[in-house]
């Protein structure tokens, strides 16, 4: 049977967003609630998958190896507090490269669903930007906007978007606890 996943963006959801990109582990600052949220989610049967745009690689600002190293350290820190990340997918391309994986395109979610046998229509996407919500909706996921990161400043963009969040949450902990409480609810169209 196909599995269910909770997909989530990284910067602005798990850790503080930086306009000039997270370029080193020193610049990776967990939100205070993030590891607790992931430990709650780890007790469920959802796969936990990060889908993240990392155009800093394509722009030559950060090396791919550095991004991988930051992600590895993040995973270890999450595991120390009882959490788990099953997979991390990221797009290294620049916006003008026209790749299918950069959000708002749903490529990362589609790739993950093939590799992990995920039923996207029974899965969730959590993000702090319209591009996350658009990617989630285009992939068929129930999509939750959090108000951390760019969330608040992006709210007005939804006024003119065909892609709407299905649920608004304060932060990752709020979103995860809501999912765990409502996961048996039939998925909306």
Tell me: does residue 57 bind Zn ion (CB under 5 A): no
User: Catalytic site residue 11?
Assistant: yes
Nearer to Zn ion, 75 or 94 (CB): 94
Least distance in Å: CB of 49 to Zn ion?
A: 16
User: Catalytic site residue 9?
Assistant: yes
114 φ, ψ (degrees, to nearest 5): -70, -45
The active-site residue, picked from 9, 128, 132, 174, is 9
Least distance in Å: CB of 90 to Zn ion?
A: 8
Nearer to Zn ion, 37 or 101 (CB): 101
Binding mask 90-119 for Zn ion (x = CB under 5 A): -x-x-----x-xx-----------------
Of 7-15, 27-35, 87-95, 124-132, the window that binds Zn ion (rule: CB under 5 A) is: 87-95
Nearer to Zn ion, 4 or 93 (CB): 93
Compute the distance between CA of residue 62 and CA of residue 41 in angstroms, rounded to an integer. 30
68 φ, ψ (degrees, to nearest 5): -65, -40
101 HSE (CA, 13 A, CB side): 15
Report the candidate in 7, 4, 43, 13 with the shortest Cα–Cα distance to residue 154: 13
Least distance in Å: CB of 96 to Zn ion?
A: 11
Least distance in Å: CB of 10 to Zn ion?
A: 15
Least distance in Å: CB of 131 to Zn ion?
A: 12
Nearer to Zn ion, 58 or 83 (CB): 58
Q: What is each CA distance from 182 to 81, 130, 145, 187, in whole angstroms?
A: 24, 23, 16, 10
Catalytic residue positions, numbered:
9, 11
> Which residues contribute to the site for Zn ion (CB under 5 A)?
91, 93, 99, 101-102
């Amino acid at each position: 049977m196909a599995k269910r996943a909770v997909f989530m963006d990284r910067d602005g959801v798990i850790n503080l967003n930086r306009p000039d990109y997270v370029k080193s582990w020193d610049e990776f600052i967990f939100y205070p609630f993030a590891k607790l949220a992931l430990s709650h989610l780890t007790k469920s049967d959802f796969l936990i998958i990060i889908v993240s745009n990392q155009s800093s690689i394509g722009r030559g600002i950060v090396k791919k190896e550095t991004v991988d190293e930051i992600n590895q350290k993040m995973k270890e820190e999450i595991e120390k507090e009882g959490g788990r990340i099953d997979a991390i997918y990221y797009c290294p391309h620049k916006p003008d490269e026209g790749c299918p994986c950069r959000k708002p395109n749903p490529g990362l979610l589609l790739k993950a669903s093939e590799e992990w046998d995920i039923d996207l229509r029974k899965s969730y996407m959590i993000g702090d930007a319209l591009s996350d919500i658009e990617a989630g909706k285009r992939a068929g996921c129930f999509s939750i906007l959090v108000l951390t990161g760019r969330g608040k400043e992006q709210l007005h963009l939804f006024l003119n978007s065909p892609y709407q969040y299905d649920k608004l949450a304060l932060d990752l902990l709020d979103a995860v606890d809501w999912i765990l409480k409502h996961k048996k609810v039939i998925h909306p169209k």
